[in-house]
């Protein structure tokens, strides 16, 4: 079994156990949902910092390294931010119910994000701006691949 398969099987097993467990009580679920939102906002802040720097003629590698390290550190935890009972039927969230209805696909997409985050972080550590740009674009693709099916549009 290759490394990706091991990760996906392990992550799916954890997600399946969490999804099959009794849903969180509403007060606890709301806390988890708020924490999840804050963590996703941190991903957004880090990606904005990288994007902004890559638009300049001389990107600040220290900013890019810090942001990519933050993304890379949190990426493997993404699946754990979606326990049973923290979906749209509980409170305000842009997470769609499909996350819990299609857990295998969600886990695969989370794995792809984790791999892309690791590759971006490695490129940032090397200081290779060309590879950072390529890796950052790939990371964005993994975000879109998950957001399209599993994230509801922002409401006004």
* pLDDT over 80 at 20, yes or no: no
d(CA 135, CA 141): 10
**Could you tell me if residue 79 is inside a domain?**
yes
Parent domain of 125 = 26-150
Average pLDDT, rounded, for the chain: 90
List CB contacts of 105: < 8 A, sequence separation 6 or more.
149
Structural domain includes residue 9: no
φ, ψ for residue 55 (rounded to 5)? -85, -10
User: Which of 118, 122, 141 shows the shortest CA–CA distance to 131?
Assistant: 122
Torsional sign, CA 93, 98, 101, 106: negative
pLDDT at 113 over 80: yes
Domain membership flag for residue 94: yes
In three-state form (DSSP H/G/I as H, E/B as E, the rest C), the secondary structure along 119-156 is HHHHHHHHCCHHHHHHHHHHHHHHHHHHHHHHECCCCC
| Res. 26 pLDDT band, cuts 50 70 90 | confident
Q: How confident is the model at residue 4 (pLDDT cuts 50, 70, 90)?
A: low
What is the reported pLDDT for 21?
58
Closest CA to 8 of 151, 142, 105: 105
Tracing tokens 């990519």 back to the chain, one arrives at 68
Helices (H), the chain: 3-20, 26-54, 61-74, 98-101, 103-126, 129-150
Query: Is 7's pLDDT higher than 80?
Result: no
pLDDT, position 3? 62
Predicted TM-score of the model (pTM) = 0.86
Task: Give residue 121's pLDDT.
Answer: 98
Is 85 a domain residue?
Answer: yes
Per the domain annotation, does 141 fall within a domain? Answer: yes
In a domain, 17, yes or no: no
Which residue, chain included where needed, has tokens 């490394």? Answer: 3
Q: Does any domain span residue 53?
A: yes
Mean pLDDT score, 81-108: 94
Q: How many domains does the structure of the chain reveal?
A: 1
- Judged against a pLDDT cut of 80, whether residue 105 lies above it is answered with yes
Q: Answer whether residue 18 is part of any domain.
A: no
Mean pLDDT of 90-110: 95
Q: For the domain that residue 137 is a member of, what is the CATH number? A: 1.20.120.10
């Amino acid at each position: 079994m290759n490394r990706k398969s091991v990760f996906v099987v392990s992550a799916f097993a954890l997600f399946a156990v969490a999804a099959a467990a009794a849903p969180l009580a509403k007060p606890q679920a709301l806390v988890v949902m708020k924490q999840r939102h804050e963590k996703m906002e941190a991903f957004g802040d880090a990606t904005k910092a990288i994007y902004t720097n890559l638009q300049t003629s001389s990107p600040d590698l220290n900013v890019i390294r810090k942001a990519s390290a933050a993304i890379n550190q949190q990426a493997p935890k993404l699946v754990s931010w979606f326990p049973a009972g923290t979906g749209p039927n509980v409170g305000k969230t842009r997470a769609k119910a499909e996350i819990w209805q299609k857990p295998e696909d969600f886990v695969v997409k989370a794995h792809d994000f984790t791999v892309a985050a690791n590759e971006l972080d490695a490129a940032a550590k090397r200081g290779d701006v060309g590879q950072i740009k390529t890796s950052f674009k790939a990371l964005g693709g993994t975000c879109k691949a998950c957001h399209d099916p599993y994230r509801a549009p922002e409401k006004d």
